[in-house]
Amino acid sequence: MELSKEDIAFSSEEVKSLIKNKHSFLIGNFLLIDSNDKEIEFLSNRLGFTRRIFKVLFLCMEKNLEKYIKKFNFDNIYDGNFLLRLKYKSKMSEKEMASLIWRRLKKPKVKLRNAKTQFFVFKLKDGIFFTLLEREIYHDYLSRKAHKRPKLHPTSLHPKLARALINLTGIKKGTLVDPMCGSGGVLIEAGLMNLKPVGYDIDNEMIERAKVNLDYYKVKNYSLVSKDFNNVNKKINFIVCDLPYGLNTRQKDLSKLYDSFLSQLRKNLGKRAVVVFPGNYEKLIKKNKFKIINKFSVYIHKSLTRRIFILE
């Protein structure tokens, strides 16, 4: 898997949260995992910070690459036409390498754009990875950014980040709860990921905004509840929350709000929560006896860095 270079550790954690206990190996911005077709389909529909998924056809030393190409049976995976992209500085040109593949095919045809069969060759550490492109991952985030929604909220998370936060919970199906849902950014992504989104908010106006936005993006099977999360007393397996903040709000007031939220979250949490703070509130998290699985920082602008905590 070719991960986004924005934050490789964050991108890697997103994948690993969904594949659970499968063995993985990170080389640069590539995460190597053992997956089948069903898992690849699932991951390509879900991941936010992964660019492409490749299947490794063979691995060899650079000096043995030509020999491996000449031995490989490309007809088994060839689908009508092909292209080859060489992603490192090689002694052999793309044209020379493509010619070797051409001679291994019964009915070869090169197509330099949108070929059905696309080979990518990478050099990772000292090894050559000869791969087949399985999925190019694209989600239309631009159309779902906050300013494109019918009901705008300026502090809403970027859709790609919201999607990744959901994946960090490890949820594969079922209900995803946002206890302070605002205008519904997290809920929109959860709905488009075929999960059941449930949002709580103490502000009736925010609940109305979320409803308009969810309907606009044709999200089905959602629930919105105008209620203070501190008054919700039931087990919830998977929770994502981007905590509200105000740049003019006193630190003492925010700490009190977050402490109250974390205390209630500790009572309600069934499996895993991903919580976003507008700063480092690790002491407050530990005070409420959460286990911090991982933590990340996302720079927004000079006066705001979001701190993401995965909690159990």
Q: What is the domain partition of the chain in residue ranges?
A: 2-136, 142-311
| Per-residue pLDDT at 247 | 53
CA–CA separation, 252 and 285 (whole Å): 15
Give the model confidence (pLDDT) of 237-270 as tens digits.
999 999 988 654 566 788 999 999 999 999 999 9
pLDDT bracket for residue 11 (50, 70, 90): very high
- To the nearest whole percent, how much of the chain has pLDDT over 90? 87
| Per-residue pLDDT at 154 | 75
Give the model confidence (pLDDT) of 164-197 as tens digits.
999 999 999 999 999 999 999 999 999 999 999 9
Report the CATH superfamily, name and number, of domain 142-311: Vaccinia Virus protein VP39 (3.40.50.150)
| Per-residue pLDDT at 122 | 97
| Per-residue pLDDT at 249 | 54
CA gyration radius, the chain = 23
CA–CA separation, 139 and 137 (whole Å): 7
Give the model confidence (pLDDT) of 17-61 as tens digits.
999 878 899 999 999 999 899 999 999 999 999 999 999 999 999
Check if 2-136 and 142-311 are the same fold: no
What is the average pLDDT value for the chain, to the nearest integer? Answer: 94
pLDDT at 271 over 80: yes
Strands (E), 77-126: 82-86, 117-124
> Across the beta sheet with 117-124, what order do the strands follow?
24-27, 30-33, 2-3, 50-61, 127-136, 117-124, 82-86
pLDDT bracket for residue 116 (50, 70, 90): very high
| Per-residue pLDDT at 108 | 97
User: What is the CATH code of the structural domain delimited by 2-136?
Assistant: 3.30.2130.30
| Per-residue pLDDT at 246 | 66
pLDDT at 303 over 80: no
| Per-residue pLDDT at 1 | 95
pLDDT at 286 over 60: yes
Q: What count of residues does the chain have?
A: 312
CA–CA separation, 180 and 86 (whole Å): 47
| Per-residue pLDDT at 22 | 85
